[in-house]
Amino acid sequence: MKQPIKIANRKRRKKHQKRSAFLRSAGFFIKWSVVASIWCALVLGVAVIFFAHDLPSIDTALSEFRKPVITLLAANGKKIAKIGEVRGTIVQYKDLPVYLPQAIIATEDRRYFDHLGIDLVGIARAAIANIRAGRIIQGGSTLTQQAAKNLFLSPERTLKRKVQEILLALWLERNFTKHQIFTIYLNRVYLGAGTYGVEAASKKYFGKSATSINLYQSALIAGLLKAPSRLNPLINLKGATKRAQQVLTNMVSAGYLKEGRVLTAKNPRFDLVRADESKRYGQYFIDWVVERLPSYVGPSAGDITVKTTLDTHIQIIAEKKLEGILSRHGGSLNVSEGAFLVLAPNGAIRALVGGRSYAKSQFNRATQARRQPGSAFKPFVYLAGLEVGLSPDKILSDKPLKYGKWEPKNYNEKYFGTLTLSEALAVSSNSIAVQVAERAGVNKTISVARRLGVSSPMRADLSIALGSSEVTLLDLTTCYVPFANGGKGVWAHGIKEINDSEGNLLYRRSGSGVGQVVAEKHVRQMNKMLSGVITRGTGKKARINRPAAGKTGTSQEFRDAWFVGYTGNLIAGVWLGNDNRSPMKRVSGGSLPAGLWKSVMMEAHEGLPRHPLLGLSDQYHSIAPRNSRENASFWGRILHNFTGR
């Protein structure tokens, strides 16, 4: 009987040992779980304190605040733009048509009335969608988070700002009802065209209160939340309409609408009614001026009125002519973009066109794009040559050259023997331009270009003679101004005067540049040489009914085509090409750019007095012939081989 008893005792001991081991393990787990929880709570508390210690004042953020309004005037005093925050009266959630909140919720935050400010389901859904797409296509922010961001925070994308956004969203949910938060959001959100809040946007786009907009208009406003500036219907109606249709589809998916109701909403009689049907001109110029305002007035100036140098008549001509020539020839010649700039002899910008369509691209090709100017750079090479003692009648040999592995060649590899510098510039001889740069010196050529206004880096080798260093149209055109005004350097500018809301003068421009940068003797010589480009050289398509001078330019493989020319009244530059730098179909500076320059300048000069150019009479000028028979033969060969280059 002792054996069974021993076995039973051993079983009891093992069972007790197992229970003790389990209790010890459980105790260990509970102990360290409590410790871990305490540490997690401590770390979380410290993190909350860290991110919350500099949260903005709730009272200040909830109070109404408006950034200064900037009113821009043309040179004649006509208003061309009003920029700044436009806020309408406060509208309550209950007073809005039911479609508007539904459209916003269906598109931005379908679980708005179910979550507590942070939507974990929505975050997970967005994360999965983004992983599948391989890029960010959805966001996980709730309307409450967006309201917190609009009220309290800056738009910077940092971890700290995101955590603060979450904390503030939780605070809003605790202190306000869902309808109150939605009301705050609707009255503070940015909706494009300088409008903040649905009331201001509705009056801007539809000419009526947000309390009386229809289903389609509600969908359009909801669609603006994705990209208010890009989808602004006043400049991108097609994009805004497409987005509004997506919002209507979202409303069907969310159960707010039936498919048949969507078809009714898309009926033309419900289409957008714009309060401002007139086309806005000068958008690229407006952006350029506004970017420079902080250099003239401080943030405490309040509302200001800026009188600019823009001539709306010339601006409209330039925009229409550029679009017209691209519409007619862009497809067949593979040229999709262009820029046009017009300056006064004191450097004042009269017109600035930074691209074909501001609505499609806000990139300013007149001031931001750096491209190779080709032969349009040669006037600075020849000026350097004149300054070291060469004369317009100096004869050089137009022939093949070789510098190590570099062999600069003429257009079509045609050479014409002996040419004067005047003839060489008129026909855009690459060979002689390089020889002039070699005689003047590369450093001298760079110095001349810098003195006239080129600010971008330049290559310190002989290829600079052929325009190998990239420049902007603004820089290049500004460099031609001294030839038109007697040799004075200028700073291109667009602001004449700034006043505050009370009419007090804050700034007035005085002076226009750095003084004499080219000797009058050399201005006379350059004007005669460059007038030959238009009267008998590569730029003959730019001839107008008054003395003028200029230069064509074409970069390698026809990637860029330029014409920069001037009269005693105006200096204008043209660039045509493609943003992706793809070659055009043999578009040279003497073809489309010269023709565009002529068409704009002919209209721009209507009614203007005839201001002479130094060294030119009020008659057309040509290059002086060496003798009549030689001249006729020479120009016959030149025009046959170099037309348009």
Rounded CA-CA distance 107/254 in Å is 9
**pLDDT for the residue numbered 549:** 97
**pLDDT for the residue numbered 280:** 73
pTM of the entire structure?
0.69
pLDDT over threshold 70, residue 133: no
Report H helices in 254-351.
Answer: 259-265, 283-292, 312-333
The string of pLDDT tens digits covering residues 100-117 is: 999 999 988 888 888 877
The total number of residues shown for the chain amounts to 645
| 61-65, 154-158, 391-395, 480-484: least confident range | 61-65
Handedness of CA 432, 436, 438, 439 (dihedral sign): positive
pLDDT over threshold 70, residue 588: yes
Pairing assessment for the beta strands 86-87 and 195-196 based on DSSP bridges: parallel
Rounded CA-CA distance 528/621 in Å is 7
**Domains 88-270 and 314-642 are alike in CATH topology:** no
**pLDDT for the residue numbered 587:** 97
**pLDDT for the residue numbered 61:** 45
The string of pLDDT tens digits covering residues 466-508 is: 999 999 999 999 999 999 999 999 999 999 999 998 899 999 9
CA nearest neighbour of 314 among 597, 8, 621: 597
**pLDDT for the residue numbered 236:** 85
Rounded CA-CA distance 228/91 in Å is 20
CA nearest neighbour of 551 among 581, 574, 520: 574
Stretch 604-625: mean pLDDT, rounded? 75
CA nearest neighbour of 305 among 74, 66, 492: 74
Stretch 180-206: mean pLDDT, rounded? 86
Rounded CA-CA distance 577/27 in Å is 77
Work out the angle between the directed axes of helices 473-485 and 442-452 (0-180°, nearest 10).
Answer: 80
**pLDDT for the residue numbered 58:** 45
Catalytic site positions: 108, 375
Stretch 284-297: mean pLDDT, rounded? 90
Stretch 44-56: mean pLDDT, rounded? 46
The letter for the amino acid at 440 is A
pLDDT over threshold 80, residue 628: no
**pLDDT for the residue numbered 219:** 92
CA nearest neighbour of 51 among 157, 160, 156, 154: 160
Task: Tell me if residue 448 falls in helix, strand or coil.
Answer: helix
> Is residue 102 within 8 Å of 251, Cβ to Cβ?
yes
**pLDDT for the residue numbered 182:** 84
Rounded CA-CA distance 71/302 in Å is 12
| Residue of higher predicted confidence among 159 and 184 | 184
Residue 403 Ramachandran class (φ > 0 left, ψ -120 to 50 alpha, else beta): beta
At residue 171 the predicted structure's pLDDT band, cuts being 50, 70 and 90, is: confident
**pLDDT for the residue numbered 108:** 85
pLDDT over threshold 50, residue 135: yes
Rounded CA-CA distance 291/224 in Å is 24
What separation in angstroms does the CA of 27 have from each of 17, 20, 34, 511?
15, 10, 10, 85
At residue 337 the predicted structure's pLDDT band, cuts being 50, 70 and 90, is: very high
Q: Report CA Rg, the chain.
A: 35
**pLDDT for the residue numbered 537:** 94
Report H helices in 134-269.
Answer: 143-152, 159-175, 178-188, 198-206, 215-224, 237-253, 259-265
At residue 287 the predicted structure's pLDDT band, cuts being 50, 70 and 90, is: very high
Rounded CA-CA distance 262/245 in Å is 9
At residue 238 the predicted structure's pLDDT band, cuts being 50, 70 and 90, is: confident
Domain extents in the chain: 88-270, 314-642
At residue 350 the predicted structure's pLDDT band, cuts being 50, 70 and 90, is: very high
Rounded CA-CA distance 159/139 in Å is 15
Pairing assessment for the beta strands 505-508 and 417-420 based on DSSP bridges: unpaired
Which of 126-130, 194-198, 221-225, 566-570 tops mean pLDDT?
566-570
Stretch 163-188: mean pLDDT, rounded? 80
> Is residue 296 within 8 Å of 506, Cβ to Cβ?
yes
* Tokens at 493, concatenated: 């500018």
**pLDDT for the residue numbered 189:** 85
The letter for the amino acid at 443 is N
Mean pLDDT, the chain, rounded, equals 83
309 — phi, psi (to 5°)? -95, 0
Q: What is the DSSP string of 524-536?
A: HHHHHHHHHHHHT
Question: What residues does 513 pair with on adjacent strands?
Answer: 490
The string of pLDDT tens digits covering residues 202-221 is: 988 888 899 999 898 999 99
Q: Provide the 8-state DSSP code for 583.
A: P
Superfamily of domain 314-642: DD-peptidase/beta-lactamase superfamily (3.40.710.10)
| Residue of higher predicted confidence among 47 and 12 | 12
Stretch 510-518: mean pLDDT, rounded? 86
> Is residue 554 within 8 Å of 561, Cβ to Cβ?
yes
CA nearest neighbour of 551 among 352, 338, 336, 383: 383
The string of pLDDT tens digits covering residues 368-425 is: 999 999 999 999 999 999 999 999 999 999 999 999 899 999 988 889 899 999 999 9
**pLDDT for the residue numbered 186:** 86
Residue 60 has a CB neighbour count (10 Å cut-off) of 10
| 135-139, 278-282, 336-340, 450-454: least confident range | 135-139
Contacts of 257 (CB under 8 A, 6+ apart): 102, 215, 248, 251, 265
Stretch 228-250: mean pLDDT, rounded? 88
Residue 581 Ramachandran class (φ > 0 left, ψ -120 to 50 alpha, else beta): left
Q: Could you give the percent of the chain with pLDDT greater than 90?
A: 52
> Is residue 566 within 8 Å of 572, Cβ to Cβ?
yes
**pLDDT for the residue numbered 643:** 44
For the domain spanning 88-270, the CATH number is 1.10.3810.10
> Is residue 214 within 8 Å of 99, Cβ to Cβ?
yes
> Is residue 563 within 8 Å of 594, Cβ to Cβ?
yes
* Tokens at 193, concatenated: 């065209």
